[in-house]
Amino acid sequence: MDFDLTEDQKEIKNVARELLSARSPWPKVREAAEADAYDAALWQEIVGLGWPGIAVGESHGGQGLGAVELAVLLEELGYACAATPFLATATAAAAIQAGGTDGQRERWLPGLVAGELTAGIGTAELAVDGHGADVIVLVDDDGARLIAGADAETELLRTIDSTRRFATVRGDGEPLNGDVADRGRAAIAAEVVGISQRALEMTLAYVKERKQFGVAVGSFQAVAHRCAQMLLHAESARSTAYYAAWAADAEPSRLPEAAALAAAAGATAAREVPASAIQAHGGIGFTWEADVHWLYKRGEVDRALLGGVKRHHAVLARAAAQRVTVPAG
């Protein structure tokens, strides 16, 4: 039993944290979001580091690592709220690696890893980076499909989250195998861990600094307890997201339930932690300049991408019931 990142995984995390804090501070995120565009220079750098292919096999130009390493990077991109197509590109690539045929891998992965092709991922109603993508991974209750961009009908969808692009997608495509949908949920849940952590840290910094009635507002129990609750949500998301990522790599038979756990805890954290951050910032938190709203907006859209708490609770109720022997009568 060792429920912790390995030294190598921590190293990936630290490198990502350092790079993104230098290259993607809030002014850069704001600049991109206000222009409704990605940060092209940052994306080039990320491609150069090989991050889009983190969970793609080496034979296709990837790094040959797994879902945990992908989760670690997604967490850091979420923490930075970076305006890049990383989530869609890296998660779609990981999905094709895990559930695609040899032909599909050969056709799409080298281009995605090299940043020469673009990918979208999500549902027909909400696919991140779906508009104009070269390849789209679509997930629904029946499983996952891969649609070549040329065969898809997409429409740009403007959401509250302008750090990223979205689309509605129509098209049939080819089925992807197995647990691609659950891998996608696990990945989005990992991004939520970073969003929550950042929202919590920004809040802590603010309530330690901001004084009212002659004292830091963080010394009021009502504020302090709200922060404690934020930590509980964030750590619940972390425990389940890491579990799901680990299951995707090491124990795929546990993935359906683990992904539902991560999605349900992630959906809660994605909303509650940034919403609390806005509240704890007071009037400032409601202003455009305070930047916590980018996390809230991204969190709400991630929650929608995760596919609704009700579905996950239903999956979990079935999983729990399967383990229980019901006495006759």
Partner 1 sequence: MDLTFSEPELAFRDELRAWFADHSPPPTSEPEADEDAHYRWRRDFQRELAQDGWAAVHWPPEYGGRGATLTQSAIFFEELGRSGAPLPANVLGLLLAGPTIMTWGTPPQKERYLTPILTAEEIWCQGFSEPDAGSDLANVKTRAVKDGDDWVVTGQKVWTSAAQYSKWCMLVARTDTEAAKHKGLTYFLMDMEQEGVQVRPLRQITGESEFNELFIDGARIPDENVLGGVGNGWKVALTTLMNERAGLAFFLQVRMRQTLDHLIAEAAQRDLLDDPIVADRLGELHLKAEVLRLTAYRGLTAIEKYGQPGPEGSLTKWMWSETNQQLTQFAADLLGPTALQAGGRWSYELLRARGNSIEGGTTEVLKNIVAERVLGLPKAR
Does position 315 bind partner 1 by CB under 8 A? Answer: yes
Site residues for partner 1, 134-153, by CB under 8 A, read none
- Out of 193, 265, 273, 295, which residue is the one contacting partner 1 (CB under 8 A)? 265
Q: Which positions from 220 to 259 touch partner 1 by CB under 8 A, shown as an x/- string?
A: xx--xx-xxx-xx--xx-xxx-xx--xx--xx--------
Q: Does 279 bind partner 1 (CB under 8 A)?
A: no
Q: Which amino acid is at 119?
A: A
Closest CA to 151 of 139, 134, 165: 134
Number of residues that bind partner 1 (CB under 8 A): 55
The position carrying tokens 């969003």 is 195
Sequence-distant contacts of 41-44: CB under 8 A, at least 24 apart: 42/82, 42/83, 42/84, 43/84, 43/85, 43/86, 43/115, 44/115
Site residues for partner 1, 188-227, by CB under 8 A, read 204, 207-208, 215-216, 218-221, 224-225, 227
Residue 294 sits in the site that holds partner 1 (CB under 8 A): no
Asked if 314 interacts with partner 1 (CB under 8 A), we say yes
Min dist CB 227 to partner 1, Å, is 5
Which tokens hold the place of 265? 């805890």
Binding residue (CB under 8 A) for partner 1 from 1, 22, 141, 289: 1
Where on the phi/psi map is residue 181: left (φ > 0), alpha (ψ -120 to 50), or beta?
Answer: alpha
65 binds partner 1 per the rule CB under 8 A: no
HSE-CB at 227 with a 13 A cutoff on CA atoms is 20
Residue placing its CB nearer to partner 1 in the complex, 22 or 222: 222
CA–CA gap between residue 200 and residue 296 (Å, rounded):
12
Residues 71, 153 contacting (CB under 8 angstroms): no
**Spatial CA neighbour of 188 closest among 31, 298, 327:** 298
Q: State the sign of the Cα–Cα–Cα–Cα dihedral 209, 290, 79, 17.
A: negative
- Beta pairing partners, 155: 168
Smallest separation (angstroms) from partner 1 to the CB of 87: 22
Selected range binding partner 1 among 57-65, 91-99, 147-155, 317-325, rule: CB under 8 A: 317-325
> Where do contacts with partner 1 occur on this chain (CB under 8 A)?
1-6, 9, 68, 204, 207-208, 215-216, 218-221, 224-225, 227-229, 231-232, 235-236, 238-240, 242-243, 246-247, 250-251, 261, 264-265, 310, 312-321, 323-327, 329
